[in-house]
Amino acid sequence: MLRSIYTLFFVVVLFQFASAQDYRWQQRVEYTMDVKLDVTTHKITGTQKLVYFNNSKDTLSKVYYHLHWNAFQPGSMMDVRSRSLPDPDGRVTDRISKLAESETGYQKIISLKQDGKDVTTHVDGTILIVELKKPILPNTKTVFDMKFESQVPIQIRRSGRNSREGIAYTMTQWYPKLAEYDFQGWHINQYVAREFHGVWGDFDVKLTLDPRFVVASTGKIQNPEKVGYGYEKAGTSVQRPNGELTWHFKAKDVIDFAWAADPEYKHDIIRVPDGPTIHLFHQPGEKTTESWSKLPEYAVKHFQFMNKFYGKYPYDTYSIIQGGDGGMEYPMCTMITGERPLNSLVGVMAHEASHSWYQAVLASNESMYAWFDEGYTDYSSSESEASMFGKPIADSHKGAYGGYFALVKRNLQEPMSTLSDHFNTNFGYGVSAYSMGAVYLHQMRYIIGEDNFYKGMQRYYNTWKMRHPEPIDFLRVMEKTSGLQLKWYANYWLQTTKRIDYGVKSAVEEAGATTVTLERVGQMPMPIDLVITYKDGTKELFYIPLNETFGSKPVEDKTMARTDLTEWYWTNPTYTFKVNKPLAGISLIEIDPQARMADIVKDNNKFDPAALNLKPAEPVQPKN
């Protein structure tokens, strides 16, 4: 009897373990690339050996690669999309349509073998479709050997040569990159504008080019004494060849690999205490030298802030590289424009470096959930920036709320769950991904409380790093950390365009007490923090949980008295409670004075009895 109970127990445990594994399998890649860049023709020729581990339960008869640079050709989807949008990215507009043949980008596959045998391929825009000779069975690996040739496009967006700031090569999205396959299937979105995804794995990359060029890259240099340029140990004499120079980099457990090259790069190095070595590369000049000389100390502060509040950066190195345009995140490095005053330079560095936590280490799927990466990056880097410049951290998310209110006012809101490239406007995409992503977190903090929030953010990072989390994974961590039910919140904020608007409807005095009635004007329900300021200057917080959460947040501000009221059922448009003070003893009733709820009508949040011509015992209507 006992034995059979034990057997049953083990079967149940094994079954649960197996089903969790089934759902969370993860593909793996090992790239070995040897490429040559001709700096006169701007062409790359290279070989790529890719070991692909199929850890799924599925047999794969096809695989797909991204050929991102094919987007930089007149008539490409990226070109047409940019010319059709009402508010195209100013860096792209119609520039792709005007590229001469020698200025376009492409990636051509010269040959591709699977386990030594040729396979059939065809190209559809920026996607290479590979019909396999031999299907890849579950839990097996296969080896692809590829020869490819690419032309580096004129810098339009992110990748390319001869950027406006005069950087010779920004080599991003530069190699044929295997698409990710997970429990949702293949992720083979065409390169139309933005946001990427990748398979976890290791990169071993050899780059051969003119020895006058300095290379900055993802990963760690393997031959520092051969290449020099600041990579070598101090005092080492570097003997560079007269001909071409080969740079060797390796990166482990990353989803992508990017690099840049320029003959004028100045290479600075600084070490974060208890953190990575940071490499900085810029072209010295009137618009760069001063701000870049101060950037390293801010980079250190930023990594320390992120390590403390959002989890520990796991790699040995990080490179901040003056690159093509704007700022763009890659694993273990970023490309940013460099001709900026210090504040702006620190801002873009902080944003892109924060991506290391969300785009690089957690690596959620940006093309499906841009907000899940951009919003979290915006949120954490805004706090770090405020801290670096001595500004109140509590105010650092106001800009994000401003963005959301502007979107509502312009009537351009679409559900945040819209695929990144499919928003009707760039403005709508930008606000949804960055601002509303940040507001999602700040409202989460309002709902679950200050302490739970930071605990949850760290727990999320530590639980899901290097595992491609889904939005539900984050939500579950926040639910477990807070003990509150939060699915209603995620659904309203991420999947719908319903809005928050609460108001104080009336305050009526009866027998020396005041009855306050609140109303939910908007469609989205929230728990309520309401603060009453009494005539003697003291304040009291009235906390009204939403019934959907099945619990209350802990006290956040120990300096203010808090009264917990009964829950507000989301179905009920109004809510009434009693304050044991006469109306004449109250100077202000205010919903959410910290403005952490994105309440779209603020006028009705405050109720000032003195501002109204009071007639006791009659309901008083606040302004709407």
With contacts defined by CB under 5 A, name the span among 69-77, 372-380, 397-405, 420-428 that binds Zn ion.
Answer: 372-380
Q: What does the H/E/C string look like for 46-78?
A: EEEEEEEEECCCCCEEEEEEECHHHHCCCCCHH
**Interaction residues for Zn ion, span 141-200 (CB under 5 A):** none
Give the C-alpha separation, 321 to 543, whole Å: 48
Q: Smaller CB distance to Zn ion: residue 374 or 529?
A: 374
In the bound state, the residue with its beta carbon closest to Zn ion is 374
Cβ 459 to Zn ion shortest distance, Å: 23
| C-beta separation of 333 from 320 below 8 A | yes
Size of the site for Zn ion (CB under 5 A): 1
Give the C-alpha separation, 595 to 500, whole Å: 12
Cβ 355 to Zn ion shortest distance, Å: 6
Non-local CB neighbours of 421 within 8 Å, separated by 6+ positions: 81, 189, 190, 192, 193, 194, 195, 367
| C-beta separation of 477 from 460 below 8 A | yes
Cβ 133 to Zn ion shortest distance, Å: 40
Element (H, E) at 327: strand 327-330
For 368, how many CA atoms within 13 A lie in the half-sphere containing its CB?
15
With contacts defined by CB under 5 A, name the span among 33-41, 247-255, 369-377, 555-563 that binds Zn ion.
Answer: 369-377
Q: Smaller CB distance to Zn ion: residue 420 or 481?
A: 420
Q: Smaller CB distance to Zn ion: residue 291 or 354?
A: 354
Q: Smaller CB distance to Zn ion: residue 231 or 474?
A: 474
Cβ 196 to Zn ion shortest distance, Å: 12
Cβ 598 to Zn ion shortest distance, Å: 21
Q: Smaller CB distance to Zn ion: residue 194 or 248?
A: 194
**Interaction residues for Zn ion, span 246-305 (CB under 5 A):** none
Give the C-alpha separation, 370 to 420, whole Å: 6
Cβ 291 to Zn ion shortest distance, Å: 20
Cβ 462 to Zn ion shortest distance, Å: 22
Q: Smaller CB distance to Zn ion: residue 339 or 374?
A: 374
Please identify which residue in the block is written with the tokens 């609140």.
Answer: 518
Cβ 270 to Zn ion shortest distance, Å: 23
Q: Binding mask 320-359 vs Zn ion (x if CB under 5 A, - otherwise)?
A: ----------------------------------------
Q: Smaller CB distance to Zn ion: residue 127 or 348?
A: 348
Burial grade of 226 (CB within 10 A; 0-12, 13-18, 19 or more): middle
Tell me the β-bridge partners of 106.
151
Give the C-alpha separation, 531 to 278, whole Å: 46
Give the C-alpha separation, 179 to 187, whole Å: 6
**Interaction residues for Zn ion, span 373-412 (CB under 5 A):** 374
Cβ 333 to Zn ion shortest distance, Å: 14
Cβ 253 to Zn ion shortest distance, Å: 21
Give the C-alpha separation, 115 to 122, whole Å: 19
Element (H, E) at 124: strand 120-124
Cβ 329 to Zn ion shortest distance, Å: 6
Q: Smaller CB distance to Zn ion: residue 374 or 556?
A: 374
Q: What is the DSSP letter of 237?
A: P
Structure tokens at 26: 């993860």
With contacts defined by CB under 5 A, name the span among 371-379, 446-454, 592-600, 611-619 that binds Zn ion.
Answer: 371-379
Q: Smaller CB distance to Zn ion: residue 180 or 374?
A: 374
With contacts defined by CB under 5 A, name the span among 47-55, 283-291, 368-376, 389-397 that binds Zn ion.
Answer: 368-376
**Interaction residues for Zn ion, span 456-475 (CB under 5 A):** none
Q: Smaller CB distance to Zn ion: residue 228 or 347?
A: 347
**Residues 242-274: b if buried by 16+ CB within 10 A, e if exposed:** eeebbbbbebbbbbbbbbbbbebbbbbebebee
Cβ 427 to Zn ion shortest distance, Å: 16
Non-local CB neighbours of 168 within 8 Å, separated by 6+ positions: 39, 161, 162, 213, 261, 262, 263
Non-local CB neighbours of 75 within 8 Å, separated by 6+ positions: 97
Q: Smaller CB distance to Zn ion: residue 375 or 609?
A: 375
**Interaction residues for Zn ion, span 474-513 (CB under 5 A):** none
With contacts defined by CB under 5 A, name the span among 196-204, 370-378, 386-394, 544-552 that binds Zn ion.
Answer: 370-378
Q: Which residues bind Zn ion (CB under 5 A)?
A: 374
